[in-house]
Structure 1
Amino acid sequence: MSRGTLRAITLVVFTFSTLLSVAVAEGIARFFIQLPQAKIYPQVRYQPHPVRGFTLQPNQTAYTKDQFATIDMLGFRTNGPKATSVIPKLRILALGDSFTFGYGVADYETWPAMLERALSYKIEVTNAGTTSYNVFHEFDLLREKGLALKPEVVIHGLYWNDHLMNRPPRATDPPLLTTDGHFAWDGDDDPASGPLWLSGVRWLRGHSVLANAALTQARRYFVPANSGVHQYDLEYRKLLAGELLPESWQVIEDFYRDMKQLGEESGFKVYVIIFPVRDIVTMPDSANHGYARLIREILDRQGISYLDGIALWHQARLGVNLFLPYDEHLTAEGYRIIANALAADFCSKKFHRAFDIACES
């Protein structure tokens, strides 16, 4: 056998054994780890806003991950079809970020939609949640559009990162949106319009657990230290370690003070959902994590009622299976648990007189 033939056979055997090893490793990994949620295009689109920087584009039908999302003429997400003629007795405005919008779940699977169903549509819940909004954006949206709806209750969905980037956009800031109306940092533009190599990378991430893990890790090393992604990761690690100082949350306390005052002036009551944080709920004493305690103290000082999602997850031992794969957002089942807990809390308290009617069986 010639040396060239031997080299060719060696190369074939090496290639085959490598591919087989990768396939076996991928199979084992998939047994323990889910593939990331796929994306169907077009993803939800945004448009520039003079104060907040961006807002949901009205009158659109698109996808959030692989789930259908419908945005109405006001720029609010709909709650899906309603097979009822019941006249609502109470109007609620749901204010918040992607946890309220319902990132990665269908219109009828968001917590505002499920809260309507939990109370047999005797209440009307308008979903004003907008992905990547923080309390600055949410308060401005409330004043611009929310007050005109004359809500009797405003439920704010709080996530740990709501204290970040609470200011209007500056001229020196990098662009927030692509020309297609997607966030510049999300890569949500249709891959068919991008270079072939980018389509290949996205395909790998969506079809291989190992490739997705490797590319995610590589991103941490190649992202500039001064980028928003890197700064977000630093803040998150500080949060988990309990190293964020109380002063960091002053913007949250100011927001709730202003919300309560606006409610007194405009005729609505304020209620808050403290959404669970994936890496906190896995801790042994998650309900007493510094973040959870501090937010409860803020709300207690302001006299605002709330649902503590971190304590709820801890008490019911719900774990991380109710979070989307590779994501901090909840699954539809996670939002159902939130909505049912909200309904139970409203019906067990004299929170608002209209709930007495809504809670009648």
Structure 2
Amino acid sequence: MDGELNLRQTRRLRRHSGVILAVWLLLLAIQQLSPFFLSERFFCFREWECVVANDRPFKPWVRWQGISYGDLANTAGVPQLKHFHPESFTADEYGFRNPPGQYAKGPQVVIVGDSFAAGSQLSDDEVLPALIEKELGIPAYNYANNKLPSYFGDRRFIARPPRVVLAFHVERETDPALFQIPDDLQPFDPVRFASFDDYRQRTGGGTDRRLRALVKAIRRDNLFGWVGERLLKGGLWSLGLYALPEQIFYYQPRTGYLFSEKGGRAHLDLSKLLGKIEPTVAALRDAKEKLAARGTRLIVLIAPDKETVYHDQIPALRDKNVGEFLARFNAALDAAGVENLPVLPLFAADRAAHPDEDLYFPDDTHLTARGQRVIFDALRDRLAAGGAAETK
């Protein structure tokens, strides 16, 4: 044995599931009533809890600065595994991770995707859109955490389409629904807020609105129903954010790396991932054609799971062909004429050249600033060749 330690927690969670559920229900009840007497940030421990909204990607006009650490270390319950690092996060007037006023610049590159595109665990100047604008002089807009159909229906980008859209997702989040653009999609105007207080007031988050709703509920003798509605409406979303973190698949003490259950299990049996290739590529081919009709070029960027890049540190995956899905997926995109950037070879080369540098946070599933930088360096010439850099 090489001293490796398995941190599977399924049995322990089952034994204490009743207590855990009761505690979280109590916390959710407190959370829903907290705006009456607690600060907006009382339940915020790290950046993601502070800035994520349940009615849009992020809270408009939010500005967060603090010390953060990874979800996986939090799940493991071992303080020594937490890698603390400073972090800053800014959201614009629409609730996307950009400086306020970014859309007014006329973005030429828009990044659509999941939390990898949004840059979870990273500071504002470390995410891909910021690198594109700072180093290439190209106005870029971060449209994560969101799906391609949502972008396509946004009237802002119908009126002023960018030259390039980057579809940036992680390997395990490649379901066809993320990319399918319905033929009958109805355009919409995103809400623009004048300030954070304006957002709270207009979405029912203001204390005065909550108090009026509470008084109204008491007068109608329906207080129990009102509280129940609040718990169901906001509580279930909060439960998913706070109470259901990713479970630990494996811990490698030699490097201090934690690996997620979801990512690890996906690579023990690739059949589910491989089954996504045909419908997802078909959706992306259709999206490419629809974007091209607006004069926009689509580039698909799929970041490997952490478990794919560092499979050599996980005994259960050491002998698995974990790169098969991405290899087939990128080949299928090539065959369909959909431009894409194969990221796994880039990361493999960087690991070989810089073995002491982390591409992913040891205590989290997301990319470090170096991981984002490797992707940007590979995109630099493509963006310039595609004409996006002409705005410089």
Fold agreement, TM-score > 0.5: yes
SS at match of 1:184: helix
With over 3 angstroms needed to count, the CA separation of the structure-2 counterparts of 1:334 and 1:186, relative to structure 1, is same
The answer to whether the aligner puts 1:62 opposite 2:94 as a matched pair is no
Query: 1:41 & 1:166 partners in 2: Cα distance?
Result: 24
User: Per-residue displacement from partner, 1:24-45 (whole Å, max 9, x unpaired)?
Assistant: xxxxxxxxxxxxxx72686113
3-state secondary structure, aligned to 2:54 = strand
Partner of 1:341: 378
Tell me whether 1:45 sits opposite 2:82 in the alignment: no
Task: Tell me the CA shift for residue 344 of structure 1.
Answer: 3.4
Aligned equivalents of 1:329, 1:117: Cα separation in 2: 22
Does 2:167 correspond to 1:147? no
Report matched runs for 1:1-361 at 5 Å: 39=46, 43-48=50-55, 54-62=56-64, 65=68, 67-78=87-98, 91-119=108-136, 121=137, 123-130=138-145, 133=146, 137-145=147-155, 146-164=157-175, 166=177, 178=234, 183-187=238-242, 233=261, 236-244=264-272, 246-283=274-311, 289-317=323-351, 321-347=358-384, 350=385, 352-355=386-389, 358=392
Task: Please provide the CA RMSD for this pair.
Answer: 3.9
Q: In the TM superposition, what is the alpha-carbon distance from 1:338 to its structure 2 partner?
A: 1.6
Shift of 1:107: 1.1
SS of residue paired to 1:187: helix
After superposition, the C-alpha distances for 1:288-343 in whole angstroms (9 at most, x for unaligned) are 82111122122202312222111101123256722113212111122122212211
Which structure has more RCO (C-alpha within 8 Å, separation ≥ 6)? 2
Deviation track 1:196-216 (CA, whole Å, cap 9, x = no partner) reads xxxxxx9xxxxxxxxxxxx96
Cα displacement (A) at 1:261? 1.5
Residue 154 (structure 1) shift: 0.5
C-alpha separation between the residues in 1 aligned to 2:323 and 2:48?
Answer: 39
1:210-269 per-position Cα deviation (integer Å, ceiling 9, x unaligned): xxxxx9669xxxxxxxxxxxxx94675233543336332334213312211211221100
Gaps of 5+ in 1: 1-37, 49-53, 169-174, 189-201, 203-214, 219-231
Q: Distance in 2 between matches of 1:177 and 1:334?
A: 36
Which protein shows a greater Rg?
1
Do 2:93 and 2:101's aligned partners in 1 also have CA atoms closer than 8 Å? no
| Aligned residue identity for 1:269 | R
Residue 165 of structure 1: CA displacement? 8.9
Equivalent residue letter for 1:265? A
Instruction: Give the SS at the match of 2:349.
Output: helix
For 2:52 and 2:108, how far apart are their aligned partners in 1? 27
Which whole-Å CA distance do the structure 1 matches of 2:336 and 2:127 have between them? Answer: 27
Secondary structure, in 3 states, of the residue corresponding to 1:279?
Answer: helix
Distance 2:325 2:238 in 1: 28
Residues 41, 270 of structure 1: CA spacing in aligned structure 2 closer, same or farther, 3 A cutoff?
A: closer
Q: Is the contact between residue 113 and residue 169 of structure 2 (CA under 8 Å) also seen in structure 1?
A: yes
Contact 1:322 1:330 in 2 (8 A): yes
Q: Decide whether the 8 Å contact of 2:90 with 2:98 is kept in 1.
A: yes
> Deviation of residue 47 (structure 1)?
3.0
| 2:106–2:160 Cα contact (<8 Å) kept | no
CA distance in 2, matches of 1:164, 1:185: 20
Residue identity (%): 22
- Aligned AA (2:87): Q
Aligned partners of 1:89 and 1:354 also within 8 Å? no
Give the structure-1-normalised TM-score: 0.59
Distance 1:90 1:46, change over 3 A: closer
Output the CA distance in 1 between the equivalents of 2:100 and 2:369.
14
Give 3-state SS (helix, strand or coil) of 1:157's partner.
strand
Structure 1: distance between partners of 2:176 and 2:233:
16
CA distance in 2, matches of 1:98, 1:298: 24
* Runs (5+) with no aligned partner, structure 2: 1-44, 69-85, 181-230, 250-259, 313-318
In 1, Cα distance between the equivalents of 2:64 and 2:96?
13
* CA deviations over 1:119-175 (Å, ceiling 9, x no partner): 1x1x11100011xx5xxx33223322543441111011121122349489xxxxxx9
Question: Contact 2:334–2:340 (CA<8 Å) still a contact in 1?
Answer: no
